[in-house]
Amino acid sequence: MSQTSHTLAAGGDNPRPAGGVQGPQRRLRLAAYPSLLAMPALLLLIAAMGYPLLTVTLRSFSDPAWGMQNYVWFFSTPVNVTVLWRTFSIAAWVTIVCVIAAYPYAYLMTAVGPRMRLVLILCVLVPFWVSGVVRTLAWVILLQDSGIINSLIRLLGFDSVKLIRTQTGVVIGMAQVLLPFMILPLYSVMRGIDLRLVQAARSLGARPSLAFLQIYLPLSLPGVFAGAIIVFILSLGFYITPALLGGPRSTMLSTLVQSQVLSLLNWGRGGAMGVVLLVATFMLLALAAPLMRQRHKQASRS
């Protein structure tokens, strides 16, 4: 670190001799190039993320031979296309469930007193207190055919529902893991909404539902977008929850990647699937970026 800045100091437009660069002057140089402080992080990122992702991409084009055959294989095999489609549809379901559950919850967080708010926030944070894998096991306990949820359903007089090893079970488990990522951005946006605007609409004769639809909802939408994008993107890459809660009919793309590489040792095909997943993620991010920027602008205006 100091070596780099020293070289820079010596090579740059340094009016004084670079000889005994000590103390203040060296630090002055470092202060002139604050991005140098981020270099260790960037180098580690290139070594531990950039290089591995490059390797995956290269192998998807070169293993076993150069060309597009792995991608042709991926998109021409019905099973893969089904799984790709299912991955997106599960992610969409998880996002919808999260929005529906988080919106009233985040609203209540802004509407109650500080003590109650603390309780609500604790409920959001408690899921993080046990290890993620343990939490998935808890879902196995809850969702299994003899589990609590099915006992409750039977107690209410209905037939038991198959939850474990179904897509419904996977969505319930994943949405619970991802709900905090929806609640927290929503809460931070809703907290900034000036409730007097809603009162003003009411005083001008709007019914509560109209005041909500025309005033509150549009103002809270940036939070919904931000949370939905995070939840959707994180869902696409889920691996553990579908692997433990799902059955063969709820396999997601991550599981296919894993089995191609670890079980079949087919790096080319596994790599191609990985690249598809990666490209989908970044395309979504690129599409979402303008919406996110919008949010920033709005936030800075208020």
Residues of this chain, 118-157, that bind another protein according to CB under 8 A: 120, 123-124, 126-142, 144, 146-148, 151
**Residues 41-60 close enough to bind another protein by CB under 8 A:** 41-42, 44-45, 47-49, 51-56, 59
- 107: contact with another protein by CB under 8 A: yes
How far, in Å, CA of 282 to CA of 293, rounded?
Answer: 16
- 34: contact with another protein by CB under 8 A: yes
How far, in Å, CA of 227 to CA of 97, rounded?
Answer: 12
Q: Do 69 and 61 meet the contact criterion of CB atoms below 8 Å apart?
A: no
267-301 and 78-111 helices, crossing angle to 10°: 30
CA angle 135-186-284, nearest 5°?
80
- 12: contact with another protein by CB under 8 A: no
Count CB atoms within 10 A of the CB of residue 270. Answer: 24
- Angstrom CA distances, 13 to 29, 59, 90, 269, stand at 11, 45, 57, 52
- 217: contact with another protein by CB under 8 A: no
Q: Select from 77, 79, 60, 78 the least CA-distant residue to 68.
A: 60
Q: Select from 222, 151, 136, 142 the least CA-distant residue to 186.
A: 222
Q: Which of 37, 72, 81, 283 is the binder for another protein (CB under 8 A)?
A: 37
CB of 121 to another protein, least distance (A): 11
Q: Which of 7, 12, 40, 217 is the binder for another protein (CB under 8 A)?
A: 40
For another protein, the closer CB: 70 or 254: 254
**Residues 235-254 close enough to bind another protein by CB under 8 A:** 236-237, 239-240, 244, 254
Size of the site for another protein (CB under 8 A): 81
- 208: contact with another protein by CB under 8 A: yes
How far, in Å, CA of 99 to CA of 235, rounded?
Answer: 14
- Interacting span for another protein (CB under 8 A) from 27-35, 66-74, 157-165, 188-196: 27-35
- Interacting span for another protein (CB under 8 A) from 2-10, 67-75, 193-201, 270-278: 270-278
CB of 31 to another protein, least distance (A): 7
